[in-house]
């Protein structure tokens, strides 16, 4: 038979009709690009902003006060707190999590104002959490601008002390925790969503429902099976990251492994829950970008959350990926353990339990 445009048009029409009736896909096609453009726009369109810093003004005279005013007008930094001693401020310098934490402490030394008239000029002291080079650059930039403004043409004078990390940290060191989390997330989501939908479509899930098996038993059975794969994958990932790229792991590799494993369980539970809402494998696949894209863009993996507008930040804090990144970064780059991220850890575990319960509730539920 000869080539026929009638057949081509018939196929095109068939696909469009099917698409028209698949509201979820249409929603995805419309919603996802809007969300992506907004996030890319906000994240890429501006430099890092609102980096949380603490000020310790030991001078308290005219020039340091002017410096303070200049800093508060600079949108690269957000002056979250004033402290009276350096020690008090240093305590709070660790990459911010849910509860507290600032990226840097800026100290105006004693007699700072006087040193402008009676040299030598006293340098501003900067204590930074250096785990994110982008952030350090923003803080240094804000301090430099302030000093240039205060002293005219005199070369700005400041000292940077790295409380965590060092100036040799490469972007890959800062990205590694996110890359680990992202890799675990994408494969665990795929695994749990696709396998679960397949099990349901084959009738196996319903058949199991006609046995004494309880839904929580099915969910846990699936979860434990997949989590063994997660153990294998996580071990491999860590080996590659450490041996091949020699990524900084200041903390404890076993701790990193455990946290990644908990994150894997979290994602698997989420996948099991979401799969209940997919009628077929095609719909199941649609969940993957829906979870992955916000997780990549909004979790602090690529762009610091501090730079997002306030209305977007709550979205970051409902993503499990945000928490694993905070937990991993603090350990891998600053050597900080559970004592500094107990709230983030609890949120992650709480989300896991919630997803697990939801998965059990909706798993192959009795059809109404």
**CA 105 distance to own-chain centroid:** 23
Q: Is 228 in the site for other proteins (CB under 8 A)?
A: no
The two tokens of residue 104 are: 């840097």
Q: Which is nearer to other proteins, 82 or 213 (CB)?
A: 213
Q: Is 6 in the site for other proteins (CB under 8 A)?
A: no
Q: Is 215 in the site for other proteins (CB under 8 A)?
A: no
The residue count for binding other proteins (CB under 8 A) is 14
DSSP code at position 365? P
Closest C-alpha to 83, from 53, 49, 113, 62: 53
Choosing from 211, 244, 254, 339, the residue that interacts with other proteins (CB under 8 A) is 211
The two tokens of residue 67 are: 């410096």
Choosing from 117, 119, 203, 310, the residue that interacts with other proteins (CB under 8 A) is 203
Query: Which residue is associated with the tokens 């993503």?
Result: 319
Candidate ranges 43-51, 99-107, 266-274, 360-368; the one touching other proteins (CB under 8 A): 360-368
Choosing from 18, 29, 204, 224, the residue that interacts with other proteins (CB under 8 A) is 204
Task: Considering only residues 117 through 176, tell me which ones interact with other proteins, judged by CB under 8 A.
Answer: none
Closest C-alpha to 80, from 98, 105, 58: 105
Distance, in Å, from the CA atom of 278 to the CA atom of 285, rounded to the nearest integer, reads: 9
Q: Which is nearer to other proteins, 13 or 214 (CB)?
A: 214
Indicate if the alpha-carbon torsion angle 11, 15, 18, 20 is positive or negative: negative
Distance, in Å, from the CA atom of 290 to the CA atom of 285, rounded to the nearest integer, reads: 9
Identify any residues that bridge with 107 across adjacent strands, giving them in sequence order. Answer: 56, 125
Closest C-alpha to 343, from 321, 319, 326: 326
Choosing from 4, 212, 244, 311, the residue that interacts with other proteins (CB under 8 A) is 212
Q: Is 279 in the site for other proteins (CB under 8 A)?
A: no
Distance, in Å, from the CA atom of 87 to the CA atom of 53, rounded to the nearest integer, reads: 15
Candidate ranges 76-84, 120-128, 205-213, 316-324; the one touching other proteins (CB under 8 A): 205-213
Q: Which is nearer to other proteins, 169 or 363 (CB)?
A: 363
The two tokens of residue 94 are: 């660790």
Candidate ranges 184-192, 202-210, 265-273, 289-297; the one touching other proteins (CB under 8 A): 202-210
Q: Is 366 in the site for other proteins (CB under 8 A)?
A: yes
Q: Which is nearer to other proteins, 120 or 212 (CB)?
A: 212
Q: Which residues bind other proteins (CB under 8 A)?
A: 202-204, 206-213, 366-368
């Amino acid at each position: 038979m000869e080539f026929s445009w009638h057949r081509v048009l018939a196929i095109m029409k068939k696909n469009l009709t099917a698409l028209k009736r698949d509201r979820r896909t249409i929603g995805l096609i419309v919603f996802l690009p809007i969300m992506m453009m907004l996030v890319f726009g906000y994240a890429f369109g501006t430099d890092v902003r609102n980096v949380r810093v603490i000020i310790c003004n030991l001078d308290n005279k005219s020039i340091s006060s002017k410096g303070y005013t200049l800093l508060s007008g600079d949108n690269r930094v957000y002056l979250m707190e004033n402290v009276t001693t350096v020690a008090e401020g240093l305590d709070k310098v660790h990459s911010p999590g849910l509860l507290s934490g600032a990226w840097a402490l800026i100290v105006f030394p004693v007699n700072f104002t006087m040193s402008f008239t009676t040299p030598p000029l006293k340098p501003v002291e900067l204590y930074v959490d250096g785990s994110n080079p982008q952030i350090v650059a923003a803080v240094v930039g804000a301090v430099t601008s302030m000093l240039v403004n205060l002293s005219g043409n005199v070369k700005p004078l400041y000292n940077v002390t790295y409380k965590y990390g060092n100036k040799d940290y490469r972007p890959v060191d800062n990205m590694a925790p996110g890359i680990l989390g992202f890799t675990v997330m994408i494969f665990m989501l795929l695994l749990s969503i696709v396998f679960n939908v397949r099990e349901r479509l084959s009738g196996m899930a319903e058949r199991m429902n006609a046995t004494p098996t309880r839904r929580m038993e099915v969910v846990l059975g699936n979860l434990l099976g997949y989590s063994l794969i997660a153990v294998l994958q996580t071990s491999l990932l860590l080996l590659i990251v450490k041996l091949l790229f020699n990524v900084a792991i200041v903390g404890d590799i076993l701790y990193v492994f455990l946290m990644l494993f908990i994150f894997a369980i979290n994602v698997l539970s989420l996948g099991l829950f979401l799969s209940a809402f997919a009628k077929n494998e095609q719909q199941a696949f649609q969940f993957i970008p829906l979870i992955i894209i916000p997780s990549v863009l909004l979790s602090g993996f690529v762009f610091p959350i501090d730079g997002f507008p306030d209305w977007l930040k709550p979205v970051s804090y409902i993503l499990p990926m945000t928490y694993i990144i905070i937990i991993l970064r603090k350990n891998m780059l600053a050597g900080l353990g559970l004592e500094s991220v107990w709230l983030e850890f609890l949120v992650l575990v709480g989300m896991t339990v919630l997803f697990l319960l939801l998965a059990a509730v909706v798993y192959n539920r009795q059809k109404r």
